[in-house]
Structures are given as structure tokens and as C-alpha cells.
Structure 1
């Protein structure tokens, strides 16, 4: 079965395509639980530690809001309730503002970003796998599922769509089996987190299912998203709004397909949330222990931002999206008007020379950045009949600008 049969709709920055600001005619249902216990309110966590990690700068290791407003800078949104959040420039890595950035909290399905960034490069997208009963062992009760069935065949491409769009723990388990099993995949993810200097992260389950001691932080999730966005396939999957997923497969009959839609409400406009101008991904999550979590990427003009919000304290199912949107609005308005409070550090093995290193990945396309050394929108998008179709890579391309020094040593940047 060829992955080319899959129909995709990909969100690109709305400054380029204003029509994408409109909500789709058919909204997705509320996102399913992606961990133990459904979508109930998370237990109240203790206060943040008085001292946390200083990776990226000493201010990021302090509890509470960290921001340095210059004259003319807008005030931060007044209604933020997230236990932890961060706003960062995706390319320079400058942290514009943060709140408890290194507080180690349950991540829910935002952990799937690390899973994808770790496993995706090693599995060819056109590889086809027939699912066995063993592949599906250990999928937790209450998990979000895309609908993978035993004894059915799926391409790697199909399975990644199931991971990113429907947060399918069933798809995660099948891909983990293809990667050598859950235990190996967890070890691979932990090693990759350490390479990225995401040192707040402790992996127990690859799908983000609630488990004791499984934690990450707003800082780490932002590092992980930034790494993932270097990869063309990662950008494609996290920027896909809807797709066709394989259904029943009966001998002698054509394969059936059904539509799946991304549970990222800032992308689809589901649940009464307006699609965010310039949204490009990345991943949402919701479990009993974690509450709601979200890491988003957006672009307006030449500015590309990453925002992570963990466990808002009020506002219902949409609060994590509303607070993310408010922080995006602030970040775009505050660009150039704040003094950074920290930085997103490079991976341990990165070249931190003045010119940095090229954004290499298994699927790196040198033309994706439009030939600009400082980043920019790619030219690989086409518009036909009002539908945005991905031709070769995503529009949201992050070119790394690694800092020359301070690589995780925790110096104060202010």
C-alpha cells in the first residue's frame, strides 16, 4: 500500500493564505483522553520548587514569571493560569518570557513530540507493517486511539498521521514495536532528550500515558518541538489539519478509508476556538495527572515563535488554547521590545560556531528555507481549488541559530 494515497490538508501561516483563518465546515469532536482517567481536572500540584534547573539561563531556574520589558513593550496577558509556560523565538532561541519554565510536570501527549523526533528518522515513511496482537499490548485504558486494527496493514506514513492528528496511542505502540519495542523506544527517547539537553524530562511511556515519575517541563517541550521542526516529515505531520486513515481491509475489496481531524483546536477551530493566525502545529495533550498541555508553533511575517503552556488552572477545555493564543499575540507584539530572559540551548553535539550548523535531518531539503541563511518561508506550497496541498515539505521552517557560548551552563543572560 502506498502512502501517496493519503489525502492531506496542511495548515500554513495565515498571512500567506487568509482563507485558512476560517473554521472548517465540519468541526472535530472534543479531543479524546490521551491518558489514564479521561479528561477530568488534574489534581492540584504542589508549588514549584524554589530552585529549578538553570539550563538556558539562571532566571529560568527561578519560580514565577520572568520577563524584562523594555520601553514600549506590551504587558503580559493578565489572565494566564498555566502552572508553567514559555514564549521563545523559534530561530534565535531567545526566551522572551517564562513562568516556572523548568517545573517538572506530567506532559500528557506532548511527550509524543519526543517520540516522533526520536523514532521518525529511522522508519521509512513508505514501509508497510502488518499489525499483530503483540504490537497492541500495553495500550492503556482510556487511551486516545486512531483506530489501528490487528491483522491490518499500515504504512509508517499512515501511523504518524494517527499519532499527530488523533494522538493515537495505538499508532504509537505499533511504531514502537517497529522500532524494537516499548522498552527500547523509551531508552532511545531518554537518550535523545539528554542529547537535546532536555534534562527535566523523564520518559516512562512513549505515548505520554500517565505514569509515575513521567515528567517534562515547558522548557524541555519547547526544545523538543524546536528539534522536531528541523525535520520535513515532522513539520508535515504536525501541520496536517485532516487526512484519510485506512479502515477495513477485506480480501479482494478496495481498502476503506475514514477521515481524521487534528485535535489541535488552534488549527481546526473546533470547540468554538478561532484558528490562530499563522499556526503551524505542534502537539496538544490532556490527561488526569497532567491536565491540559500544549506546545504550538506559529509564524507572522518573518517572526516564528514557540509557546508551551502546561496545566491551566481554569477556563475549561479551551483554556490551554486561549492562553497559548494570548501568549502568541503578546510574543509577536513584544518582539524587539523585551530583553531575553534565557535561551533555548543547542543539542550537546551541535556546532555552536558563529554561523551555526545546517538543519540536518534524514529528510533535509536544502531548498525548504527558500535559500535564506536566516530562515524564511519555503516555496514548496501550492493552492488549488481553495485547498492547501503539501507538495514538498512544510512552510514553517526553523533554521537553527545556535548561540556561540553558554551551551547549557546556566549563565544569566540579563
Structure 2
């Protein structure tokens, strides 16, 4: 079997679960060292005023949740500087903590990189790597093992990006796209298109750089957009794959290509000694750098509910803490979804209608002094009562069901997924 085709993924039959769909206009890896001149570690205190995109409550510092009868309290001992858990189908934000705090994203920024570039190159296209393709990578970058003068398919490169968070694979794809500067410009333009206004891209691989920031809210938007794309879903849900190595020539002149196995460093997908595979997980992306700490965005499905979670920079210094907090938040989200009043919503991209005849009505953004104060007060009470949380993610699959009229895509807020990838617990 060719190296580029030997992968491990899990799929189950389609269910009635649906995911908010929108179409854009046509057209862990090892921790990396901080780049020279990278911004200092962020303040431990979030800004007093943040963006209110998606709802007024999301602009408030601290935990935002609307507890009521029948709604479970948040998990205890959440230590992340920022997190958000949302329903991927409706776009409702179930709870959040400093959702719009601009922080270093680490390799979770690769979700925006992939969402921007995946549609540009057929996965079967081949590229022979030259020295220039690998220039400019930061010291201590996570690598998949790309070799100069070797040829890789686009699919190989994307598996290197998602499974090993390979900055070498990112730089090769960026070179194919016209270079790092062009790719950064494309990513910033796409972020604006998605209304991810907390984000400023400086490096396409998420390596620490001055003024490179994103937020838990924006990272969730990137994941949600990427998961509309079949290839993106396939890459981010792959647990392990065979990757091309070096080409060797025997004394008789016979040429062979070595391969080696790579495994996804998303511990909720692949598991670890202290983190089991999360039931229903199917991506999306993890990261870890000196400045960002650990970051993670995940998606998971359970009983027809599809949730997204993003966790940024847990302060608790424990092994795999970002995954533990993400998993706890997902557990809470599955218990609370449909019971808790949302504190905001995930917005649709620029120029995209958020409703269609027969579509579910958009979630009402939280707003108004009374609503915000209520959410903030209830969150504070929950915190005093020992609530907190963490969770992880699922796998989504689905081609876009869109209506094309005069070159404009419209949104259907609910649609059956043509394909849903889910992770079963290990036997």
C-alpha cells in the first residue's frame, strides 16, 4: 500500500446530527521555543474590555454561563486563561471564559492555515522539495521530517501538518502558495472574512512571534469553517499514518522509498497514559509554545449533539492538562446542551446570510446590561460554589449543502451531515 494511503481513521454511519453550514465566497507536537523578539508572556489579568462579537456577555472578563434549574454546574478546577464551549450545529455558545482575550495561539493557528490553503491544491498533486521551501523555520520547531529533494503529495504534507504539527510541512505548502508572506496575507484576509477579528497572523505555522494573537472565539470559528471541508475533516481525524521517508539506491541501482509511522499528537484522539481517547472525538488541532503554553481546539459528537471546545493556556502545571480541561468542558457541554441558555453565538462569515426558508432561527445573541450582569453574576456564584470545566472535541464530516444563486452562497443553519466521523473508545 502506498505510504500516502495507509492511514487509520474511524467512521460510523450517518446520524441525524447536523452542523451549522456556511460557505465562503469562492475564490502536540513538541513545544517550540519562542522566536527572538517574541512578545512577553501575557498578563495574568484579561482586559477589562474585549470584543462583544457574538454577544455582549462574551466581552466581559471571567466566566460567562447562565445556570438554571436542571443545568449542571461547570467542572471544578479549570485553570485555562481562556476557553469556550459551543454547539457546532446551532452556533450557540453554551459557556465561555475570557472568550475574546487575545493570546498567542501556537499551532492551533494551523487550523486557519489549513482552512485557507486546503481548497487550493488537489491532494494528489506532487511537489519536490527544494532548500528554499524549508527556509525560515523557527528554532525548536516541531517537524514531521520533510527531506530536501524528496517528492511528497499534498496529502502527505497535510498529514504532516495535522498529525505532527510539522512546521516543515507548513513551510513547503506556504512555498507552493507563493511564499510565507503571501500565505500570511491570505490567512489574515480569510480571518477577516470569517469575522475572526481578534486574530493577527505573523507566521503561518503558529510559531511565537511579536503581535501574533488569536482568541478562543476565533479559533473556534476557524475549526467550524475548516470542518465544512471534506479533506480538512479527514486530515484532522486521522489517528496515525505511514509517512514517506528517504529514497535510497541499492548497489544494483534499484530505488526504494522508506516509510515511517506518524501518530496524531492530539491526545484526545490518540490517547495517552493519563488521557483516554475521548468518546466521539474527531479532531481538531493542538499546539504548544513557550509564549502560548498549551492550546487546543476539539470537536466531538454524542447522542446527536456536535460540540466544539477551545482551551488556551491552562495555568495548572500538570501533564496533558489542556486535554483534561477540554474533556471536562465537553462532558459538561453534552449534559448542558439544550438546557442552558446560551451566552452568545458563533457568527457567520462576512456576506453570508444566517437564515434560509425553513432554517432554524439564529440563536439570539446575549446583550443588554441586564443580561450581561445576570450571566456574570451567575458565573461568579458558580465559581464560588466550586464549578469549573474542561472538554474536548469531535469529528464532523459533511459536504456543503449550499444554494448557489448569482455566485452567492447562502447558509442553511441545519442540515444532515452526509458523513460523520466518530471515535469509539478503545476496546
TM-score range, shorter chain: 0.7 to 0.9
- 5+ residue gaps, structure 2: 16-27, 361-397, 403-411, 423-427
User: Once the 2 structures are TM-superposed, how far is the Cα of residue 364 of structure 1 from its aligned partner?
Assistant: 3.7
- Which 5+ residue runs of structure 1 have no aligned equivalent? 17-29, 358-362, 380-393, 397-414
Return the offset for 1:158: 0.1
2:156 alignment partner in structure 1: 158
Larger Rg: 2
- 2 CA distance for matches of 1:147 and 1:319? 27
**Aligned CA distance change for structure 1 residues 14 and 242 (closer, same or farther; 3 Å):** farther
**Quick one: which of 256, 268, 274 aligns to 2:270?**
268
Query: Deviation at 1:11?
Result: 3.8
How far is the alpha carbon of 1:45 from its aligned partner? 2.5
CA distance in 1, matches of 2:288, 2:273: 15
Aligned to 2:43: 45
Superposed displacement of residue 35, structure 1: 4.7
Matching residue of 2:383: none
- 1:214-256 alpha-carbon deviations (Å, 9 max, x no partner): 0000000001100000000000000000000000113532221
Tell me, yes or no, if structure 1 residue 108 matches structure 2 residue 106.
yes
| Equivalences, count | 355
Partner-residue secondary structure (3-state), 1:141? coil
Q: Deviations over 1:110-131 (max 9, x none)?
A: 0000000001100111110000
1:70 aligns with 2:82: no
* Cα offset, 1:348, TM superposition: 0.3
**What is the distance in 2 between the residues matched to 1:325 and 1:14?**
24
Where do residues 206-355 of structure 1 align in structure 2 (5 Å cutoff)?
206-251=204-249, 252-355=254-357
Given that 1:14 and 1:278 are in contact with CA atoms closer than 8 Å, whether structure 2 keeps it comes out as: no
Q: Structure 1 residues 291, 271: closer, same or farther in 2, change over 3 A?
A: farther
- TM-score, structure 2 as length reference: 0.79
What is the rounded CA distance, in whole Å, between the counterparts of 1:13 and 1:314 in structure 2?
A: 35
Q: Distance in 2 between matches of 1:36 and 1:153?
A: 30
The offset of 1:305, in angstroms, is 0.1
Alpha-carbon distance change, 277 to 14 in structure 1, aligned in 2, over 3 angstroms: farther
Supply the distance in 1 between the matched residues of 2:280 and 2:52 (Cα, whole angstroms): 31
For normalisation by structure 1, the TM-score amounts to 0.81
Alignment of 1:169-188 (within 5 A): 169-188=167-186
Instruction: Give 1:337 deviation, angstroms.
Output: 1.4
Secondary structure of the equivalent of 2:288? strand
Q: Which residue of 1 aligns with 2:6?
A: 7
Aligned counterparts of 2:62 and 2:143: Cα–Cα separation in 1: 36
Partner residue, 2:376: none
User: For each residue in 1:258-315, what CA deviation from the matched residue of structure 2 results, as whole angstroms up to 9, or x when unmatched?
Assistant: 0000000011112421111100100000000000000000000110000000000004
Structure 1 counterpart of 2:144, from 143, 146, 153: 146
- Would you say the 8 A contact 2:85–2:329 is kept in 1? yes
Name the CA distance, whole Å, in 1 between partners of 2:339 and 2:11.
26
**Counterpart for residue 374 of structure 1:** 414
Q: Distance in 2 between matches of 1:206 and 1:35?
A: 16
**CA contact under 8 A between 2:3 and 2:242: conserved in structure 1?**
no
Structure 2 CA distance for aligned equivalents of residues 79 and 259 of structure 1: 36
What SS does the corresponding residue of 2:414 show, helix, strand or coil? coil
Query: Deviation per CA, 1:133-167, whole angstroms, max 9, x where unpaired?
Result: 00000011100000001000000000000000000
Which of 176, 191, 194 does residue 193 from structure 1 map onto?
A: 191
Deviation at residue 13 of structure 1 after TM alignment: 7.0
- Please name the residue that 2:421 is paired with: 395
CA shift in 2, pair 1:160/1:34, >3 Å: farther
Equivalents in 1 of 2:106, 2:33: separation in Å?
Answer: 7
Does the Cα contact within 8 Å between 1:163 and 1:172 map onto a contact in 2? yes
Distance 1:296 1:84 in 2: 14
The whole-number CA distance in structure 2 between the counterparts of 1:89 and 1:373 is: 12
Cα–Cα, structure 1 residues 307 and 197, in superposed 2: closer, same or farther, change >3 Å? same
Work out which of the residue numbers 34, 37, 60 in structure 2 matches 1:36.
34
Q: Which runs of 4+ in 1 moved over 6 A?
A: 13-16
